[in-house]
């Protein structure tokens, strides 16, 4: 993999995904210079004896406690240790690596008062394969992701825990085995490492990339279901969508037409059956609106990836004197709202997919397919319970879709009296995306089975659409037609991998 260059201004979601998957990162010379200037500014403030939040004062409700100069380093060390209060399962390796590169990028702009070599120590963790153990829960999304980022910073100073070459170790031991030395934090450095939105942003970026792939996979799967159900493409006529020109609705309808081009499985005009159910007819309207939520998440997150999100910040006046400004860039509301919107959209993508799956197994709605897509109904249950699983996941999503940012609980003796809960939004968004990946996989599995039955009715020469034919072939390469009852879980998992890994979308779009 290529090495990602960290400038503080040009990080993309694709860069984050590359680092999460194993790429390394290096600091641009411009970033090193900017951070060195900021660090020297902090030293000037200390020499002058100026009072600056988090540098010569305590934190949160302790903002009025002045810290003497000889205890400034201890202040930062204590901050990191005391804030490492996370609980729950550990973040996965990909998320931790993504978090590291996001945090390094925001520090690289040179407003945080941290030494370049301290930020380089973050990147060394990536290069040497050290994965800090970060409990998933504990962030309020203001002041950023304090608890989880403190667990990351603990490893830098030789504390906490990390995995190295598959073994979970004390942080100091992991550093030593990798040939690294613990960092001795200077003034402002502990605060710079833990005050910001890196965990939420990393989770959100990875979830959004999955959601982008998922919306395309749902389009493809929905069209295969349409063919399996002998539906009509009339609702995708461009004349309809020109009259309601939401861009992504128009795009979804155009994509549907391309996927279905040349299909023999579609129903010709029938005056007694003019239109399909909403879950088929309204795919462009629903999937297009879902794409809007994903596009908004990308927009917000790519701003956040290249934003300075800690506090306080170091500026310089016209005479090059350092100036400390306290603000609230750590407040993750912009990201939290975007991820709440994303998870709501993806929840509804799952809702409509589950309804198509339900039609495929219901003989009263499937336009001639056998009940539960089996030849031996009664003796065998076919795909009955696959739809149950999709329904269970769709129901769980309706709980997860509740907006996290609608909640706030005051903390730090009411000094921090409004928080974003954006990390909760990020965790829920990722879970919703994963659930819908499974729902779409179940629909895809059922649609392929339905196509086989439909082909028996239409004749073996009947052709699927240009794009859906590729999707069907991919499914059949790994899961054959089910002639008799078998365990469905391994088959669902195999098709889910086809969806989540991007293979389905890549192959179909290559054919188009």
Sign of CA dihedral 396, 401, 405, 407: negative
pLDDT digits (tens, 9 = 90+) for 147-178: 999 999 999 999 999 999 999 999 999 999 99
Please state the rounded mean pLDDT for residues 342-364. Answer: 98
3-state secondary structure 345-361: HHHHHHHHHHHHHHHHH
CA neighbor of 447 nearest in space, from 194, 224, 117: 224
The Cα 166–Cα 402 span in angstroms is 36
Strands 25-27, 4-6: pairing is: parallel
Please give the structure tokens belonging to residue 486: 């078998």
Q: Is a pLDDT exceeding 70 seen at residue 255?
A: yes
CA distances 160 to 91, 137, 168, Å, are 14, 16, 11
Tell me the β-bridge partners of 164.
130, 167
3-state secondary structure 470-499: HHHHHHHHHCCCCCCCCCCHHHHHHHHHHH
In the chain, the N- to C-terminal Cα span, in Å, equals 28
Tell me the β-bridge partners of 169.
162
Which H or E element spans position 170?
A: strand 167-170
Q: Percent of the chain having pLDDT more than 90?
A: 92
CB atoms within 10 A of CB 254: 14
User: Which residue is listed with tokens 């009259």?
Assistant: 243
pLDDT at 48: 87
Q: How confident is the model at residue 1 (pLDDT cuts 50, 70, 90)?
A: low
User: Which residue is listed with tokens 């030395």?
Assistant: 181
Q: Is a pLDDT exceeding 80 seen at residue 484?
A: yes
pTM of the predicted protein model: 0.96
Reply yes or no on domain 4-196 having CATH 1.10.275.10: yes
Delimiting residues of CATH 1.10.275.10 domain(s) in the chain: 4-196
Delimiting residues of CATH 1.20.200.10 domain(s) in the chain: 211-511
Please state the rounded mean pLDDT for residues 252-271. Answer: 96
Please state the rounded mean pLDDT for residues 20-38. Answer: 97
CA 130 to mean position of chain CA atoms: 22
CA 385 to mean position of chain CA atoms: 29
Q: Is 53 a catalytic residue?
A: yes
Catalytic residue among 53, 255, 341, 438: 53
Please give the structure tokens belonging to residue 89: 């399962």
> Which top CATH class is 211-511?
mainly alpha
Q: Answer for the pair 427, 340: CB distance below 8 angstroms, yes or no.
A: no
pLDDT at 157: 97
- According to DSSP, residue 145 is labeled S
Please state the rounded mean pLDDT for residues 221-246. Answer: 98
């Amino acid at each position: 993999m290529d090495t990602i260059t960290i400038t503080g201004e040009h990080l993309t979601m694709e860069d984050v995904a590359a680092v999460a998957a194993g790429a390394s990162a290096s600091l641009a010379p411009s970033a090193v210079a900017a951070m060195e200037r900021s660090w020297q500014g902090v030293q000037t403030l200390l020499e002058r004896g100026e009072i600056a939040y988090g540098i010569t004062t305590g934190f949160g409700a302790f903002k009025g406690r002045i810290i003497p100069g000889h205890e400034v380093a201890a202040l930062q060390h204590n901050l990191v240790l005391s804030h490492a209060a996370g609980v729950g399962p550990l973040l996965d390796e990909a998320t931790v690596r993504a978090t590291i590169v996001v945090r390094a990028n925001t520090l690289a702009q040179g407003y945080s008062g941290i030494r370049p070599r301290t930020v380089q120590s973050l990147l060394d963790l990536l290069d040497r394969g050290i994965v800090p153990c970060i409990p998933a829960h504990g962030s309020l999304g203001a002041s950023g992701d304090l608890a989880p980022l403190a667990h990351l910073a603990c490893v830098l100073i030789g504390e906490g825990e990390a995995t190295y070459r598959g073994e979970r170790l004390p942080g100091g031991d992991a550093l030593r085995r990798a040939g690294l030395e613990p960092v001795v934090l200077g003034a402002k450095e502990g605060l710079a490492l833990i005050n910001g939105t890196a965990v939420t942003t990393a989770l959100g970026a990875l979830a959004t990339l999955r959601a982008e792939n998922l919306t395309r996979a749902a389009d493809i799967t929905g069209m295969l279901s349409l063919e399996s159900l002998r539906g009509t493409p009339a609702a995708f006529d461009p004349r309809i969508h020109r009259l309601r020109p939401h861009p992504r609705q128009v795009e979804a309808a155009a994509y549907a037409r391309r996927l279905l081009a040349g299909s023999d499985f579609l129903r010709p005009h029938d005056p007694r059956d003019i239109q399909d159910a909403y879950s088929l007819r309204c795919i462009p309207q629903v999937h297009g609106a879902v794409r809007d939520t994903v596009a908004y998440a990308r927009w917000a997150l790519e701003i956040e990836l290249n934003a300075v999100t800690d506090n306080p910040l170091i500026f310089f006046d016209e005479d090059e004197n350092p100036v400390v400004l306290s603000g609230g860039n750590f407040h993750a509301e912009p990201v939290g709202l975007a991820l709440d919107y994303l998870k709501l959209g993806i929840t509804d993508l799952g809702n409509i997919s589950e309804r198509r799956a339900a039609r495929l197994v219901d003989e009263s709605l499937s336009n001639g397919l056998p009940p539960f897509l089996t030849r031996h109904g009664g003796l065998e249950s076919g795909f009955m319970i696959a739809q149950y699983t999709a329904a269970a996941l769709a129901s769980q999503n309706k709980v997860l879709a509740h907006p996290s940012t609608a909640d706030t609980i005051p903390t730090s003796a009411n000094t921090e009296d409004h928080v974003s809960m954006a990390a909760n939004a990020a965790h829920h968004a990722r879970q919703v995306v994963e659930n819908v990946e499974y729902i779409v996989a179940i629909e895809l599995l059922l649609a392929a089975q339905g196509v086989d039955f439909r082909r028996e009715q239409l004749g073996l020469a009947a052709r699927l659409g240009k794009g859906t034919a590729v999707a069907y072939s991919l499914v059949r390469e790994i899961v054959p037609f089910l002639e008799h009852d078998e365990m469905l879980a391994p088959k669902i998992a195999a098709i889910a991998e086809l969806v989540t890994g991007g293979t389905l979308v890549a192959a179909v779009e290559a054919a188009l």
